[in-house]
Chain A
Amino acid sequence: MQFWIIQGLNSLSLGGLLFLLSSGFSLIFGLMRLANLTHGAFFMLGTYFGATALRSYTGLNIWVTALGAGIAVAAIGGLFERLVLTRLKTNPLGQVLVTLGMSFIISDACLMLWGGDSIPVPTPQNLQSPTRVLGFVFPTYRLVLVGCAIGAAIVLYFLLERTRLGAMIRAGVDDRQMARAVGIPVSNLFTVVFCLGAGIAGAGGVLGGPILSAYPGLDGDMLPLALIVVILGGIGSLLGAFVGSFIIGFIYTFGTALFPELAYIILFLPMIFVIAFRPQGLFGRVGT
């Protein structure tokens, strides 16, 4: 029983992390029609920033670190979008290729700066003691992480559904040309959404640090998960990213625990079903 509950909680916390990663990916894809293959690298960059900051200054608050790393990664993402991606507006394939090139550059730079060994990220001290609920012991940090993802989902939901910026983003996702025609500055919106997505991924990287630790190849491990979440949940849909993240969180965690060698295949089954029967994803607004 303890096994199932602990693995269930692990699934939830992985699902939360995946949501932080894939919500931005999905928004960028939905609005810009751009599969941002740098997204895994943004996440990893966040983890390395977090690892460096938290290890060199003991007592530094992880939330402040996440915010700082998020802003730093958002700035890098914004520069990349302004300097490179906007030049390739008419060349969607070229855009994907430069995001791939950028991901190679970032991951190699991380390898150069931080070396090949994995760097553990300390769990915040006040969250280290386990929580007991109904006689079961839970690692507190993972519970908090789930709460964090839900909080981020609520904030993003209000941002998208209740603000003027959100209305503009939704309009851009649904019909980019019409949005432009009614005077929405779609190009600036691209930059905002790209920064936002990169920032959430970077902050998610910091928060995921204590669970995953920073290691070379983290980007390559996370990116396919984000791809599968987005294919599953539907492109450009926040709800889809949310539901998809937790589904994949469960499948991946239980798959790895029960059938370690086949985890990747199990992960991939729901994707096949969705592609076969519902190509736009569970909650997709846009066909691929």
Chain B
Amino acid sequence: MKWIGAALLAALLLLLPSFAGDFYINLASQILIAAIFALSLNLLVGYGGMTSLGHASYLGVAAYISALLTSRYGLGHGPAAIISIAGTTAMAALFGVIALRATGLGFLMITLALSQVLWGLAYRMSGVTNGDNGVAGLTRPMPFGISLDSAASFYWFALLVTTIAFLMMAIFVSSSFGSSLKGVRDQPRRMAALGFNPWMIRWITFVYAGFWGGVSGLLYVYYNKYIHPTSLSTTSSAEALLGVIAGGSGTLGGPVVGAALVLLLKNYASAYVERWNMLLGLVFLFIVLVLPAGIVPGLGKFLRRGSR
């Protein structure tokens, strides 16, 4: 039953461009990008118990590095992508050393402060980042000479990357390292007494999450062909966190569902109401007060109860 469902879903995802219009294909690409981003944040929030409010840093920095290298310094997409992912991962390694001095709320405040610093830099260092105007006029890469300019081809590219990302993160959390990560989340002292190094386990997870955050940032900038400081803002981090928590943190499917919901809500709501931020805030309040475990675990519980 489970396998049939998975096969149907895979077929649906693969064949989507053959029956959907460009608008929906593009929407699906955006959802895939948001899903990678939410999944990477979920490694920290759900599996590591480290609630970060600065995850947009990795998306934004990877996007900015790639955008600046390709547009200003005329680098090809291949080397630019490698440098941007390597740079973002290195930044995650550094930020991890700083932020993991604290846990819990201290960690949250430090990640928030660090991401605000980057946001401020993107805004103020207009000589480098072009400030409030953002970096425009970017191109999409052509892997193996295949153009990604059409909606369908970009969708398939994003789907491929998302599948790899999903599998890599699924392997990560179900590996023995993933188990020790969950152990550190629930019982850090016991894990330390058992000879594990909680700090190292958290740090490795932090860097890994930063890496996938960077990957989603690359896709983001390829898709939009434009990057603006708002991608680094707290709102951007908060949207992803809302997706993770709304969908169900600490599950693999939850963040994907949550990210899709936030994105759809944002797309449809902004067509009718001007006040997306207020709606975002209200959804935050609603989810935390009414559905604290998230939609996917909540639905799972509901279905199990029904089948009994």
Q: A residues within 8 Å of B by Cβ?
A: 29, 33-35, 37, 84, 87-88, 91-94, 96-98, 100-105, 107-109, 111-112, 220, 223-224, 227-228, 230-231, 235, 260-265, 267-268, 271-272, 275-276, 279, 288
Cβ of B285 within 8 Å of any chain A Cβ, yes or no, is yes
Q: Are A92 and B105 in contact (CB under 8 A)?
A: yes
B226 CB to closest chain A CB (Å) equals 21
- Which residue, A87, A100, A112, has most C-beta atoms of chain B within 10 A? A100
Q: Are B102 and A275 in contact (CB under 8 A)?
A: yes
Q: Are A104 and B277 in contact (CB under 8 A)?
A: yes
A65 CB to closest chain B CB (Å) equals 27
Closest Cβ neighbor of A268 among chain B residues: B117
Q: Are B281 and A101 in contact (CB under 8 A)?
A: yes
Give 9 new A-B contacts, CB below 8 A, not counting A102-B285, A227-B112, A227-B113.
A35-B108, A101-B280, A101-B288, A105-B282, A109-B278, A224-B116, A227-B109, A230-B109, A276-B98
Q: Are A104 and B103 in contact (CB under 8 A)?
A: no
Q: Are B109 and A35 in contact (CB under 8 A)?
A: yes
B86-112 interface bits toward A, Cβ cutoff 8 Å, 1 = contact, 0 = none: 000000000000100111111111101
The one of A94, A220, A231, A272 that contacts B288, using a Cβ cutoff of 8 Å: A94
B221 CB to closest chain A CB (Å) equals 22
The one of A100, A112, A260, A272 that contacts B284, using a Cβ cutoff of 8 Å: A100
Chain B residue numbers with a CB within 8 Å of A33 are: 105
The one of B103, B107, B117, B245 that contacts A265, using a Cβ cutoff of 8 Å: B117
- Which residue, A33, A91, A92, A272, has most C-beta atoms of chain B within 10 A? A272
Binds A, one of B10-18, B120-128, B204-212, B257-265: B120-128
Chain B residue numbers with a CB within 8 Å of A112 are: 275, 278
The one of A88, A92, A260, A263 that contacts B289, using a Cβ cutoff of 8 Å: A88
Closest Cβ neighbor of A34 among chain B residues: B105
A162 CB to closest chain B CB (Å) equals 29
Q: B residues within 8 Å of A by Cβ?
A: 51, 53, 98, 101-110, 112-114, 116-117, 120-121, 124-127, 233-235, 238, 241-242, 245, 275, 277-278, 280-285, 288-289, 292
A262 to B123, CA, bound (A): 11
A53 CB to closest chain B CB (Å) equals 24
A265 to B106, CA, bound (A): 20
A27 to B292, CA, bound (A): 27
Q: Are A84 and B281 in contact (CB under 8 A)?
A: no
- Which residue, B104, B127, B241, B281, has most C-beta atoms of chain A within 10 A? B281
Q: Are B289 and A104 in contact (CB under 8 A)?
A: no
Chain B residue numbers with a CB within 8 Å of A107 are: 277
Chain B residue numbers with a CB within 8 Å of A276 are: 98, 101
A142 to B51, CA, bound (A): 39
A105 to B279, CA, bound (A): 8
List 28 A-B pairs, Cβ < 8 Å.
A34-B105, A35-B105, A88-B288, A88-B289, A96-B105, A97-B241, A97-B245, A101-B280, A101-B283, A103-B281, A104-B280, A105-B277, A105-B282, A109-B278, A112-B278, A224-B116, A227-B112, A231-B110, A260-B124, A263-B124, A264-B116, A265-B117, A268-B113, A275-B98, A276-B98, A279-B102, A288-B106, A288-B107
Q: Are A84 and B289 in contact (CB under 8 A)?
A: yes
Chain A residue numbers with a CB within 8 Å of B105 are: 29, 33-35, 92, 96, 288
B275 CB to closest chain A CB (Å) equals 5
Chain B residue numbers with a CB within 8 Å of A264 are: 116-117, 120-121, 124
